[in-house]
């Protein structure tokens, strides 16, 4: 459900496939919910899970069976932007009629968490893949650069943050192991996430967790610079690279081809001590997709250089 103002809102849902054909429905109200009118009803179509409007005309609805629907006339007419059997979408968020994100999971045996992004209103979508057996359930941006996604697996909660419009994502410590199902921020610092077992977590630092106990902090920091194996590997189209810093450091994390040519700079700047991760979406510094092959990812600090190989298969 989503309301664009006190009077006008939309709700989505339907009936899942059991012994009868599934049904997909979208309804709206213009009187604050006192009455509802059906805008869309599709038989033999899987239910929808989330809806979002950036204004009274432009909206998107997402759900099962890779469903992404779009309207540009307040819901009077809906067009399908994506469908199929590959993904289950859980949430959608747009900052303007062109720029938005959809999150969920793929339906392969490994169940990767996924983020789809668009900069052309949903005409084309770019896929980023995250950890296996994970699912993203909620997404929100406070502007076209800064946003968060939340979700989890059977064993842990997950929170990722971006400050560059979703090109790169960094994991944050959620402070709970309970699966997270929704997220809401009012600005770049203050936000909340909710989840299973009545979980409500809050941040006033944009998701950055501070620990005051110096002894605890020191005992949980890595002893040396570490660059971990990317996952998945081989991959298509995205992979996650994790690294660990024993102290706050000025670093770069870059991608090279086997000839030593720089392909992409993923991280450049001062990073805090601890473990960090970033996703490479198999694009170069000009946002162009690169071809299949072996690539090198390199972590460089003032006194340390660490490199590993990975394989992209298109």
Are residues 254 and 188 part of one domain? no
Which ranges of 55-98 does DSSP label H, i.e. alpha helix? none
- Domain harbouring 228, CATH code: 2.60.40.4070
d(CA 238, CA 27): 36
Do 172 and 53 sit in the same domain of this protein?
yes
Paired tokens of 57: 């005309």
Domain that holds residue 135: 2-203
Both 289 and 251 in one domain: the answer is yes
Please check whether residue 119 lies inside any domain of the structure. yes
- Looking at per-residue pLDDT, the higher value among 20 and 112 belongs to 112
Q: Looking at the structure, do residues 52 and 172 belong to the same domain, yes or no?
A: yes
Task: Indicate the number of domains in the chain.
Answer: 2
| Rounded Cα gap, residues 175 and 187, in angstroms | 20
Residues 18 and 164 in one domain: yes
Mean per-residue pLDDT, 254-258: 94
Residue range 199-251, pLDDT digits in tens? 888 888 898 753 333 443 444 577 889 999 998 999 998 898 989 888 878 88
| 36 inside domain | yes
Q: How many CB atoms lie within 10 A of CB 78?
A: 19
The CATH number that applies at residue 59 is 2.120.10.10
| pLDDT at position 165 over 70 | yes
Span 172-198, average pLDDT = 89
Looking at the structure, tell me whether residues 179 and 225 fall in a common domain.
Answer: no
pLDDT of 18: 55
Q: How many angstroms separate the CA atoms of 116 and 233, rounded?
A: 20
Whether residue 257 is preceded by a cis peptide bond, meaning omega within 30 degrees of 0, is no
| Domain assignment of residue 243, yes or no | yes
At which residue do the structure tokens 């394989």 appear?
311
Of the residues 151, 170, 203, the one at which a domain ends? 203
pLDDT reported for residue 211: 35
Whether 97 and 228 map to the same domain: the answer is no
Give residue 213's pLDDT: 38
**Which pTM value belongs to this model?**
0.66
Q: What is the pLDDT of residues 263-295, one digit of tens each?
A: 998 888 777 777 788 889 899 988 899 999 999
Length of the chain (residues): 314
Domain boundary among 158, 175, 203: 203
Q: Are residues 198 and 62 in the same domain?
A: yes
**Diameter of the chain by CA atoms?**
66
Residue 262 has pLDDT above 60, yes or no: yes
Distances in Å between the Cα of 130 and the Cα atoms of 4, 103, 114, 241, 271 are 31, 11, 6, 10, 21
Are residues 142 and 53 part of one domain?
yes
Whether residues 227 and 196 fall in one domain: no
Q: Which of 203, 231, 261 is the last residue of a domain?
A: 203
Residues paired with residue 71 on neighbouring β-strands, in sequence order: 59
- Say yes or no to pLDDT of 16 above 90: no
């Amino acid at each position: 459900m989503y309301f664009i103002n006190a009077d006008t809102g939309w709700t989505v849902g339907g009936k899942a496939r059991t012994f009868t054909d599934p049904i997909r429905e979208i309804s709206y109200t213009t009187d604050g919910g006192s009455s509802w009118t059906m805008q869309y009803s599709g038989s033999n179509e899987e239910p929808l899970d989330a809806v979002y409007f950036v204004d009274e005309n432009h909206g998107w609805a997402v759900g099962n069976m890779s469903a992404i629907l779009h309207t540009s006339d307040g819901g009077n007419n809906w067009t399908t932007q994506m469908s199929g059997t590959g993904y289950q979408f859980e949430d959608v968020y747009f900052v303007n009629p062109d720029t938005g994100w959809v999150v969920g999971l793929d339906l392969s045996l490994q169940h990767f968490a996924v983020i789809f992004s668009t900069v052309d209103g949903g005409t084309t979508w770019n896929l980023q893949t995250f950890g296996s057996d994970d699912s993203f359930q909620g997404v929100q941006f406070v502007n076209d650069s800064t946003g968060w996604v939340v979700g989890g697996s059977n064993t842990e909660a997950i929170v990722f943050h971006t400050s560059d419009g979703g090109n790169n994502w960094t994991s944050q410590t959620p402070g709970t192991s309970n699966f997270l199902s929704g997220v809401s921020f009012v600005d770049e610092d203050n936000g909340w996430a909710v989840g299973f077992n009545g979980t409500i977590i809050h941040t006033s630092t944009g998701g950055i967790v501070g620990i005051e106990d110096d002894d605890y902090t020191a005992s949980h920091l890595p002893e040396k610079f570490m660059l971990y194996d990317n996952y998945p590997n081989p991959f298509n189209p995205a992979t996650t690279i994790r690294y660990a810093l024993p102290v706050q450091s000025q670093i770069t994390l870059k991608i090279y081809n086997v000839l030593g040519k720089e392909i992409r700079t993923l991280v450049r700047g001062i990073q805090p001590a601890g473990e960090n991760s970033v996703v490479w979406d198999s694009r170069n510094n000009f946002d162009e997709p690169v071809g299949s092959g072996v690539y090198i990812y390199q972590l460089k600090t003032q006194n340390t250089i660490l490199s590993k190989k990975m394989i992209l298969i298109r």
